[in-house]
Structure 1
Amino acid sequence: METLTPAEISQRTAELRAEHRSLDERIAKLAANPDDDLEAKRLKKRKLQLKDCIARLESMLIPDEPA
């Protein structure tokens, strides 16, 4: 795994949050059209993946506590 600087982690987190918000908007639009149920499920799955990735990146920013 590559080592990222805190600035790179913050930048990547911001990019993922923007994509997450974009998916929110697309999912809301698809909710009005039941014909796109498969697409909505795919987008929701991607949104969950993004959320997990954001959480992992944010945990990398938290310094380890000494024992």
Structure 2
Amino acid sequence: MYELMIKEYRLKKNLTQKELALALDISQSYLSEIENGKYDIKLSLLCKIANALDVLPAELFIYSKSTS
């Protein structure tokens, strides 16, 4: 579920995968795979992503279809 919300919040902030990945010090391809649900991530990275997106970590688990 958090995968969809990472992408949704990233798009709301008008960030590309490359920009967010750079802020997180990870590769764009790794971020893409996270957003596509190919990897489970550690809580520390989830918190880092939430911080970069200016949301609480818990918000990444609340699904909304606001970008649809």
Instruction: Specify the TM-score bucket, using the shorter chain as the normaliser.
Output: under 0.3
Larger Rg: 1
Query: Which TM-score applies when normalising by structure 1?
Result: 0.27
Structure with greater proportional helix content: 1
Using the size of structure 2 for normalisation, the TM-score is 0.26
